[in-house]
Structure 1
Amino acid sequence: MQSLEYLSTLAFGFLMGRNRQFDEYDVLERATRWVWRHGFSATSMRDIVAATGVAKASIYNAFGSREAFFQRLLIYYIERKQAQSLTLLKAARTGRAALQAYLDGVLHSPSDESYMSGCLIINIAAEQPALDDEAQATINYGLTLIEEQLTRTIERGVKDGSIDRATEPTVAVPCLLATILGLYVLKRQGICQNKLQDMIDAVLDAFAPTNRLVRSEVA
Protein backbone atom coordinates (compact mmCIF):
# COMPACT_ATOMS: atom_id res chain seq x y z
CA MET A 1 0.00 0.00 0.00
CA GLN A 2 1.30 3.45 -0.91
CA SER A 3 2.18 5.59 2.09
CA LEU A 4 0.43 8.86 2.82
CA GLU A 5 3.81 10.63 2.56
CA TYR A 6 4.21 9.31 -0.98
CA LEU A 7 0.69 10.33 -2.01
CA SER A 8 1.04 13.72 -0.38
CA THR A 9 4.41 14.34 -2.05
CA LEU A 10 2.92 13.58 -5.46
CA ALA A 11 0.01 15.92 -4.84
CA PHE A 12 2.27 18.69 -3.51
CA GLY A 13 4.66 18.41 -6.41
CA PHE A 14 1.79 18.56 -8.88
CA LEU A 15 0.33 21.67 -7.25
CA MET A 16 3.67 23.47 -7.03
CA GLY A 17 3.80 23.43 -10.81
CA ARG A 18 0.54 25.34 -11.08
CA ASN A 19 -0.14 29.00 -10.51
CA ARG A 20 -2.67 29.39 -7.70
CA GLN A 21 -4.52 32.59 -6.90
CA PHE A 22 -6.00 31.34 -3.64
CA ASP A 23 -4.98 29.71 -0.37
CA GLU A 24 -4.98 25.96 -1.03
CA TYR A 25 -5.48 25.01 2.60
CA ASP A 26 -8.37 27.41 3.03
CA VAL A 27 -10.09 25.92 -0.02
CA LEU A 28 -9.48 22.37 1.18
CA GLU A 29 -10.76 23.23 4.66
CA ARG A 30 -13.97 24.74 3.30
CA ALA A 31 -14.47 21.84 0.92
CA THR A 32 -13.82 19.31 3.69
CA ARG A 33 -16.48 20.93 5.87
CA TRP A 34 -18.97 20.74 3.02
CA VAL A 35 -18.26 17.08 2.24
CA TRP A 36 -18.32 16.22 5.94
CA ARG A 37 -21.74 17.79 6.34
CA HIS A 38 -23.41 16.79 3.06
CA GLY A 39 -21.66 13.55 2.11
CA PHE A 40 -19.06 12.65 -0.51
CA SER A 41 -21.40 11.19 -3.12
CA ALA A 42 -23.78 14.16 -2.94
CA THR A 43 -21.00 16.74 -3.46
CA SER A 44 -20.56 18.16 -6.94
CA MET A 45 -17.98 20.61 -8.23
CA ARG A 46 -20.76 23.20 -8.24
CA ASP A 47 -21.08 22.61 -4.48
CA ILE A 48 -17.32 23.01 -4.06
CA VAL A 49 -17.43 26.30 -5.96
CA ALA A 50 -20.26 27.51 -3.70
CA ALA A 51 -18.52 26.33 -0.52
CA THR A 52 -15.10 27.78 -1.35
CA GLY A 53 -15.95 30.87 -3.38
CA VAL A 54 -13.35 29.85 -5.97
CA ALA A 55 -14.29 29.54 -9.63
CA LYS A 56 -14.35 26.06 -11.14
CA ALA A 57 -11.76 27.06 -13.73
CA SER A 58 -9.38 28.17 -10.98
CA ILE A 59 -9.85 24.89 -9.10
CA TYR A 60 -9.19 22.86 -12.23
CA ASN A 61 -6.18 25.01 -13.07
CA ALA A 62 -4.72 24.39 -9.60
CA PHE A 63 -5.61 20.74 -9.09
CA GLY A 64 -5.95 19.42 -12.65
CA SER A 65 -9.26 17.58 -12.43
CA ARG A 66 -12.23 16.80 -10.19
CA GLU A 67 -10.63 13.47 -9.22
CA ALA A 68 -7.32 15.13 -8.37
CA PHE A 69 -9.09 17.73 -6.23
CA PHE A 70 -10.97 15.13 -4.18
CA GLN A 71 -7.81 13.05 -3.84
CA ARG A 72 -6.03 16.09 -2.38
CA LEU A 73 -9.01 16.69 -0.08
CA LEU A 74 -8.75 13.15 1.29
CA ILE A 75 -5.02 13.54 1.92
CA TYR A 76 -5.65 16.90 3.59
CA TYR A 77 -8.26 15.33 5.88
CA ILE A 78 -6.01 12.44 6.93
CA GLU A 79 -3.05 14.73 7.59
CA ARG A 80 -4.92 17.54 9.36
CA LYS A 81 -8.14 16.10 10.82
CA GLN A 82 -7.87 12.36 11.25
CA ALA A 83 -4.51 12.60 12.97
CA GLN A 84 -6.10 15.02 15.45
CA SER A 85 -9.13 12.82 16.15
CA LEU A 86 -6.96 9.75 16.68
CA THR A 87 -5.15 11.56 19.50
CA LEU A 88 -8.31 10.87 21.55
CA LEU A 89 -7.24 7.21 21.52
CA LYS A 90 -3.82 8.13 22.90
CA ALA A 91 -4.57 10.81 25.47
CA ALA A 92 -6.93 9.02 27.88
CA ARG A 93 -5.55 7.33 31.00
CA THR A 94 -6.89 3.83 30.21
CA GLY A 95 -7.75 1.88 27.08
CA ARG A 96 -11.46 1.85 27.87
CA ALA A 97 -11.47 5.60 28.59
CA ALA A 98 -9.76 6.14 25.24
CA LEU A 99 -12.44 4.16 23.39
CA GLN A 100 -15.12 6.08 25.30
CA ALA A 101 -13.59 9.42 24.28
CA TYR A 102 -13.29 8.40 20.64
CA LEU A 103 -16.84 7.06 20.36
CA ASP A 104 -18.20 10.11 22.18
CA GLY A 105 -16.37 12.21 19.60
CA VAL A 106 -18.25 10.35 16.86
CA LEU A 107 -21.56 11.02 18.58
CA HIS A 108 -21.21 14.60 19.78
CA SER A 109 -20.45 17.57 17.57
CA PRO A 110 -19.07 20.75 19.12
CA SER A 111 -20.79 23.95 18.02
CA ASP A 112 -17.66 24.94 16.10
CA GLU A 113 -18.38 24.02 12.48
CA SER A 114 -14.74 23.22 11.84
CA TYR A 115 -15.53 19.82 13.28
CA MET A 116 -18.40 17.65 12.06
CA SER A 117 -19.57 14.42 13.62
CA GLY A 118 -17.72 11.18 13.12
CA CYS A 119 -14.70 10.40 10.96
CA LEU A 120 -14.89 11.56 7.35
CA ILE A 121 -12.96 8.52 6.10
CA ILE A 122 -15.40 6.12 7.78
CA ASN A 123 -18.34 8.23 6.65
CA ILE A 124 -17.19 8.01 3.02
CA ALA A 125 -16.55 4.28 3.34
CA ALA A 126 -20.14 3.91 4.60
CA GLU A 127 -21.45 5.70 1.51
CA GLN A 128 -19.58 3.27 -0.79
CA PRO A 129 -19.17 5.85 -3.56
CA ALA A 130 -17.65 5.09 -6.93
CA LEU A 131 -13.98 6.01 -6.52
CA ASP A 132 -10.96 5.81 -8.78
CA ASP A 133 -8.12 3.52 -7.71
CA GLU A 134 -6.04 6.32 -6.20
CA ALA A 135 -8.88 7.68 -4.05
CA GLN A 136 -9.85 4.19 -2.94
CA ALA A 137 -6.26 3.51 -1.92
CA THR A 138 -6.29 6.69 0.17
CA ILE A 139 -9.56 5.71 1.85
CA ASN A 140 -8.12 2.27 2.58
CA TYR A 141 -5.00 3.87 4.04
CA GLY A 142 -7.11 6.07 6.32
CA LEU A 143 -9.11 3.05 7.49
CA THR A 144 -5.88 1.18 8.19
CA LEU A 145 -4.67 4.01 10.41
CA ILE A 146 -7.89 3.82 12.41
CA GLU A 147 -7.72 0.02 12.71
CA GLU A 148 -4.10 0.13 13.87
CA GLN A 149 -4.80 2.75 16.53
CA LEU A 150 -7.90 0.91 17.76
CA THR A 151 -5.83 -2.28 18.00
CA ARG A 152 -3.16 -0.53 20.06
CA THR A 153 -5.84 0.97 22.31
CA ILE A 154 -7.45 -2.40 22.98
CA GLU A 155 -4.07 -3.95 23.73
CA ARG A 156 -3.37 -1.10 26.13
CA GLY A 157 -6.75 -1.63 27.81
CA VAL A 158 -6.07 -5.32 28.27
CA LYS A 159 -2.71 -4.48 29.82
CA ASP A 160 -4.09 -1.81 32.19
CA GLY A 161 -7.07 -3.96 33.19
CA SER A 162 -9.83 -1.71 31.83
CA ILE A 163 -10.65 -4.18 29.02
CA ASP A 164 -11.22 -7.89 29.54
CA ARG A 165 -8.04 -9.88 28.95
CA ALA A 166 -9.92 -12.35 26.72
CA THR A 167 -10.70 -9.58 24.21
CA GLU A 168 -9.14 -10.28 20.82
CA PRO A 169 -8.34 -7.13 18.79
CA THR A 170 -8.96 -9.02 15.54
CA VAL A 171 -12.58 -9.48 16.68
CA ALA A 172 -13.05 -6.26 18.66
CA VAL A 173 -11.79 -3.82 16.03
CA PRO A 174 -14.33 -4.80 13.33
CA CYS A 175 -17.01 -4.59 16.02
CA LEU A 176 -15.91 -1.05 16.89
CA LEU A 177 -15.79 -0.02 13.22
CA ALA A 178 -19.31 -1.38 12.75
CA THR A 179 -20.40 0.62 15.81
CA ILE A 180 -18.90 3.81 14.37
CA LEU A 181 -20.66 3.20 11.04
CA GLY A 182 -23.91 2.52 12.87
CA LEU A 183 -23.61 5.73 14.87
CA TYR A 184 -23.03 7.69 11.67
CA VAL A 185 -26.07 6.21 9.91
CA LEU A 186 -28.43 6.38 12.89
CA LYS A 187 -27.41 9.92 13.74
CA ARG A 188 -28.19 10.98 10.18
CA GLN A 189 -31.61 9.38 10.55
CA GLY A 190 -32.32 11.55 13.57
CA ILE A 191 -32.15 8.90 16.30
CA CYS A 192 -31.93 10.68 19.66
CA GLN A 193 -28.49 10.93 21.23
CA ASN A 194 -29.57 9.21 24.46
CA LYS A 195 -30.28 6.01 22.54
CA LEU A 196 -27.01 6.26 20.67
CA GLN A 197 -25.17 6.85 23.95
CA ASP A 198 -26.80 3.67 25.30
CA MET A 199 -25.46 1.89 22.20
CA ILE A 200 -21.92 3.10 22.96
CA ASP A 201 -22.21 2.06 26.61
CA ALA A 202 -23.43 -1.41 25.64
CA VAL A 203 -20.50 -1.93 23.27
CA LEU A 204 -17.96 -0.82 25.86
CA ASP A 205 -19.59 -2.97 28.54
CA ALA A 206 -19.06 -5.96 26.26
CA PHE A 207 -15.31 -5.34 26.59
CA ALA A 208 -15.38 -4.76 30.36
CA PRO A 209 -13.45 -7.16 32.62
CA THR A 210 -15.73 -10.00 33.69
CA ASN A 211 -15.10 -9.50 37.41
CA ARG A 212 -16.12 -5.84 37.10
CA LEU A 213 -19.45 -6.82 35.56
CA VAL A 214 -20.03 -9.38 38.30
CA ARG A 215 -19.37 -6.79 41.04
CA SER A 216 -21.67 -4.33 39.27
CA GLU A 217 -24.52 -6.89 39.16
CA VAL A 218 -24.11 -7.77 42.82
CA ALA A 219 -24.13 -4.10 43.80
Structure 2
Amino acid sequence: MTMPAERGRPRSFDTETALQRATEVFWRHGFQAASMAELTAATGLSKPSLYAAFGDKASLYLQCLQRYGAQQVELQNQLLAAEPDARRAVENFMRAAAQVQTDPAMPGGCMIVTGTSDCGAQGTPRAVDAALRGAWGGTEQRLLKRLQQAEREGQLPPSLNAKSLATLLASVLSGMAVMAKGGQSRKKLDAVVDAAMAVWPATKPKTRRQNPDHAR
Protein backbone atom coordinates (compact mmCIF):
# COMPACT_ATOMS: atom_id res chain seq x y z
CA MET A 1 0.00 0.00 0.00
CA THR A 2 1.37 3.41 -0.94
CA MET A 3 1.35 5.92 1.89
CA PRO A 4 0.21 9.43 1.02
CA ALA A 5 2.89 12.08 0.94
CA GLU A 6 3.15 14.32 4.00
CA ARG A 7 1.51 17.67 3.57
CA GLY A 8 3.62 20.78 3.65
CA ARG A 9 7.06 21.37 2.27
CA PRO A 10 9.70 19.35 4.16
CA ARG A 11 12.96 20.98 5.11
CA SER A 12 15.65 20.26 2.54
CA PHE A 13 18.49 20.45 5.06
CA ASP A 14 19.63 18.67 8.19
CA THR A 15 19.28 20.86 11.27
CA GLU A 16 22.20 19.28 13.14
CA THR A 17 24.53 19.67 10.16
CA ALA A 18 23.52 23.31 9.75
CA LEU A 19 24.10 23.97 13.45
CA GLN A 20 27.49 22.27 13.35
CA ARG A 21 28.61 24.39 10.40
CA ALA A 22 27.32 27.57 12.01
CA THR A 23 29.09 26.58 15.22
CA GLU A 24 32.38 26.35 13.36
CA VAL A 25 31.90 29.88 12.00
CA PHE A 26 31.16 31.30 15.46
CA TRP A 27 34.00 29.23 16.95
CA ARG A 28 36.41 30.73 14.44
CA HIS A 29 35.25 34.36 14.61
CA GLY A 30 33.18 34.91 17.75
CA PHE A 31 29.68 36.40 17.76
CA GLN A 32 30.19 39.90 16.40
CA ALA A 33 32.87 39.15 13.80
CA ALA A 34 30.91 36.28 12.24
CA SER A 35 29.04 37.70 9.26
CA MET A 36 25.71 36.54 7.91
CA ALA A 37 27.46 35.97 4.57
CA GLU A 38 29.82 33.49 6.24
CA LEU A 39 26.96 31.79 8.07
CA THR A 40 24.84 31.39 4.95
CA ALA A 41 27.84 30.13 2.96
CA ALA A 42 28.76 27.60 5.67
CA THR A 43 25.23 26.28 6.16
CA GLY A 44 24.20 26.44 2.52
CA LEU A 45 21.04 28.29 3.53
CA SER A 46 19.78 31.63 2.32
CA LYS A 47 19.41 34.39 4.87
CA PRO A 48 15.58 34.07 4.98
CA SER A 49 15.86 30.28 5.40
CA LEU A 50 18.42 30.68 8.18
CA TYR A 51 16.17 33.13 10.01
CA ALA A 52 13.12 30.92 9.51
CA ALA A 53 14.91 27.88 10.92
CA PHE A 54 16.90 29.40 13.80
CA GLY A 55 15.76 32.97 14.37
CA ASP A 56 18.08 35.97 14.26
CA LYS A 57 21.87 35.87 14.57
CA ALA A 58 21.81 36.00 18.37
CA SER A 59 19.31 33.15 18.54
CA LEU A 60 21.44 31.06 16.19
CA TYR A 61 24.54 31.80 18.24
CA LEU A 62 22.83 30.76 21.47
CA GLN A 63 21.72 27.48 19.90
CA CYS A 64 25.26 26.82 18.67
CA LEU A 65 26.74 27.74 22.04
CA GLN A 66 24.27 25.49 23.86
CA ARG A 67 25.14 22.61 21.54
CA TYR A 68 28.89 23.17 21.89
CA GLY A 69 28.59 23.64 25.64
CA ALA A 70 26.61 20.43 26.12
CA GLN A 71 29.30 18.49 24.29
CA GLN A 72 32.00 20.10 26.43
CA VAL A 73 30.16 19.36 29.68
CA GLU A 74 29.79 15.70 28.77
CA LEU A 75 33.44 15.35 27.75
CA GLN A 76 34.76 17.25 30.77
CA ASN A 77 32.66 15.24 33.22
CA GLN A 78 33.84 11.99 31.65
CA LEU A 79 37.49 13.00 31.84
CA LEU A 80 37.30 14.20 35.42
CA ALA A 81 35.50 11.05 36.57
CA ALA A 82 37.53 8.53 34.57
CA GLU A 83 40.49 8.33 36.96
CA PRO A 84 40.32 7.69 40.70
CA ASP A 85 43.64 9.51 41.01
CA ALA A 86 42.57 13.17 41.02
CA ARG A 87 45.86 14.58 39.77
CA ARG A 88 45.93 12.20 36.83
CA ALA A 89 42.28 12.98 36.04
CA VAL A 90 42.94 16.73 36.00
CA GLU A 91 46.10 16.32 33.91
CA ASN A 92 44.21 14.18 31.38
CA PHE A 93 41.53 16.88 31.32
CA MET A 94 44.11 19.57 30.53
CA ARG A 95 45.86 17.51 27.86
CA ALA A 96 42.56 16.64 26.19
CA ALA A 97 41.85 20.38 25.98
CA ALA A 98 45.26 20.93 24.37
CA GLN A 99 44.49 18.22 21.82
CA VAL A 100 41.09 19.67 20.87
CA GLN A 101 42.35 23.25 20.80
CA THR A 102 45.12 22.38 18.32
CA ASP A 103 43.19 19.83 16.24
CA PRO A 104 43.73 20.86 12.59
CA ALA A 105 40.23 19.63 11.77
CA MET A 106 38.75 22.17 14.20
CA PRO A 107 38.64 26.00 14.03
CA GLY A 108 41.29 26.23 16.76
CA GLY A 109 41.11 27.29 20.39
CA CYS A 110 37.78 27.21 22.21
CA MET A 111 34.44 28.62 21.03
CA ILE A 112 33.66 29.92 24.50
CA VAL A 113 37.02 31.67 24.97
CA THR A 114 36.82 33.16 21.47
CA GLY A 115 33.32 34.39 22.25
CA THR A 116 34.27 36.05 25.54
CA SER A 117 36.05 38.80 23.61
CA ASP A 118 32.53 40.04 22.83
CA CYS A 119 31.45 40.11 26.48
CA GLY A 120 30.69 43.64 27.57
CA ALA A 121 31.15 44.97 24.06
CA GLN A 122 28.66 47.34 22.48
CA GLY A 123 26.37 45.41 20.17
CA THR A 124 26.57 42.13 22.07
CA PRO A 125 23.07 41.11 23.20
CA ARG A 126 22.69 40.60 26.94
CA ALA A 127 21.56 37.02 26.42
CA VAL A 128 24.74 36.21 24.49
CA ASP A 129 26.90 37.95 27.08
CA ALA A 130 25.26 36.07 29.95
CA ALA A 131 25.44 32.71 28.18
CA LEU A 132 29.16 33.11 27.49
CA ARG A 133 29.97 34.10 31.05
CA GLY A 134 27.96 31.18 32.38
CA ALA A 135 29.57 28.71 30.00
CA TRP A 136 33.07 29.72 30.99
CA GLY A 137 32.24 29.71 34.69
CA GLY A 138 30.94 26.16 34.31
CA THR A 139 34.39 24.83 33.40
CA GLU A 140 35.90 26.27 36.55
CA GLN A 141 33.04 24.87 38.65
CA ARG A 142 33.55 21.36 37.26
CA LEU A 143 37.25 21.56 38.06
CA LEU A 144 36.45 22.86 41.54
CA LYS A 145 34.04 20.00 42.22
CA ARG A 146 36.71 17.43 41.30
CA LEU A 147 39.37 19.19 43.35
CA GLN A 148 37.09 19.40 46.38
CA GLN A 149 36.55 15.66 46.06
CA ALA A 150 40.33 15.22 45.96
CA GLU A 151 40.59 17.41 49.05
CA ARG A 152 38.09 15.24 50.94
CA GLU A 153 39.94 12.09 49.89
CA GLY A 154 43.30 13.44 51.02
CA GLN A 155 44.69 13.61 47.48
CA LEU A 156 45.24 17.37 47.47
CA PRO A 157 48.34 18.57 49.36
CA PRO A 158 47.54 20.81 52.36
CA SER A 159 49.52 23.59 50.68
CA LEU A 160 46.98 23.76 47.85
CA ASN A 161 43.53 25.31 48.02
CA ALA A 162 40.89 23.69 45.81
CA LYS A 163 39.21 26.95 44.83
CA SER A 164 42.45 28.75 44.03
CA LEU A 165 43.75 25.79 42.03
CA ALA A 166 40.50 25.57 40.05
CA THR A 167 40.78 29.27 39.18
CA LEU A 168 44.41 28.82 38.16
CA LEU A 169 43.68 25.83 35.92
CA ALA A 170 40.69 27.54 34.31
CA SER A 171 42.86 30.57 33.59
CA VAL A 172 45.53 28.32 32.08
CA LEU A 173 42.90 26.69 29.86
CA SER A 174 41.82 30.12 28.66
CA GLY A 175 45.40 31.08 27.87
CA MET A 176 45.97 27.80 26.04
CA ALA A 177 42.92 28.48 23.88
CA VAL A 178 44.28 31.90 22.92
CA MET A 179 47.68 30.36 22.14
CA ALA A 180 46.09 27.67 19.97
CA LYS A 181 44.02 30.30 18.18
CA GLY A 182 47.28 32.08 17.40
CA GLY A 183 48.75 28.96 15.84
CA GLN A 184 50.82 27.57 18.70
CA SER A 185 51.52 23.84 18.53
CA ARG A 186 50.24 20.96 20.62
CA LYS A 187 53.79 20.54 21.93
CA LYS A 188 53.80 24.12 23.19
CA LEU A 189 50.43 23.67 24.91
CA ASP A 190 51.57 20.41 26.49
CA ALA A 191 54.54 22.31 27.94
CA VAL A 192 52.06 24.77 29.47
CA VAL A 193 50.17 21.84 31.01
CA ASP A 194 53.45 20.52 32.44
CA ALA A 195 54.14 23.87 34.08
CA ALA A 196 50.60 24.18 35.44
CA MET A 197 50.60 20.67 36.90
CA ALA A 198 53.98 21.29 38.55
CA VAL A 199 52.18 23.22 41.30
CA TRP A 200 50.58 19.90 42.29
CA PRO A 201 53.47 17.49 42.92
CA ALA A 202 52.82 13.90 41.92
CA THR A 203 52.93 11.54 44.88
CA LYS A 204 54.56 8.17 44.52
CA PRO A 205 52.44 5.23 45.66
CA LYS A 206 53.60 3.82 48.96
CA THR A 207 55.35 0.47 48.64
CA ARG A 208 54.75 -2.12 51.28
CA ARG A 209 57.95 -3.23 52.99
CA GLN A 210 58.69 -6.84 52.24
CA ASN A 211 58.93 -9.26 55.15
CA PRO A 212 62.54 -10.55 55.26
CA ASP A 213 61.23 -14.08 55.79
CA HIS A 214 59.29 -13.83 52.51
CA ALA A 215 62.29 -12.49 50.64
CA ARG A 216 64.24 -15.72 51.09
1:106-117 paired onto structure 2 within 5 Å: 106-109=97-100, 113=105, 117=108
- Structure 1 CA distance for aligned equivalents of residues 134 and 16 of structure 2: 21
Are positions 1:198 and 2:191 aligned together? yes
Name which of structure 1's ranges 103-112 and 150-159 shifts more when overlaid on structure 2.
103-112
Q: Among all aligned residue pairs of Structure 1 and Structure 2, give the percentage whose two residues are the same amino acid.
A: 26
Shift of the alpha carbon at 1:127? 5.7
Shift of the alpha carbon at 1:38? 4.2
Cα pair distance change 1:202/1:111, threshold 3 Å: closer
Uncovered stretches (5+) of structure 1, i.e. residues with no partner: 1-18, 214-219
Paired residue for 2:46, among 31, 55, 66?
A: 55
Cα pair distance change 1:55/1:146, threshold 3 Å: same
CA contact (8 A) 1:108 1:117 kept: no
1:35-46 paired onto structure 2 within 5 Å: 35-46=26-37
Select the structure that is richer in helix: 1
Are positions 1:173 and 2:172 aligned together? no
Cα pair distance change 1:67/1:38, threshold 3 Å: closer
TM-score computed with the length of structure 1 as normaliser: 0.74
Are positions 1:83 and 2:76 aligned together? no
CA RMSD of aligned residues (A): 2.7
Deviations 1:143-185 (A, max 9, x none): 2321221101112333445432332222112211210111112
**Counterpart of 2:40 in structure 1: which amino acid?**
V
Deviations 1:38-61 (A, max 9, x none): 444431111111111111110112
CA contact (8 A) 2:86 2:155 kept: yes
Are positions 1:102 and 2:81 aligned together? no
Secondary structure of residue in 1 paired with 2:33: coil
TM-score computed with the length of structure 2 as normaliser: 0.75
CA contact (8 A) 2:40 2:46 kept: yes
Cα pair distance change 1:160/1:107, threshold 3 Å: same
Are positions 1:74 and 2:65 aligned together? yes
CA contact (8 A) 1:103 1:200 kept: yes
CA contact (8 A) 2:108 2:180 kept: no
Uncovered stretches (5+) of structure 2, i.e. residues with no partner: 1-9, 205-216
- Structure 2 CA distance for aligned equivalents of residues 58 and 128 of structure 1: 28
CA contact (8 A) 2:30 2:117 kept: no
1:201-212 paired onto structure 2 within 5 Å: 201-208=194-201, 212=203
- For the pair shown, the structure with the greater C-alpha radius of gyration is 2
CA contact (8 A) 2:98 2:186 kept: yes
Are positions 1:123 and 2:114 aligned together? yes
Are positions 1:144 and 2:137 aligned together? yes
The corresponding residue for 1:14 is none
**Counterpart of 2:145 in structure 1: which amino acid?**
R
Shift of the alpha carbon at 1:129? 7.0
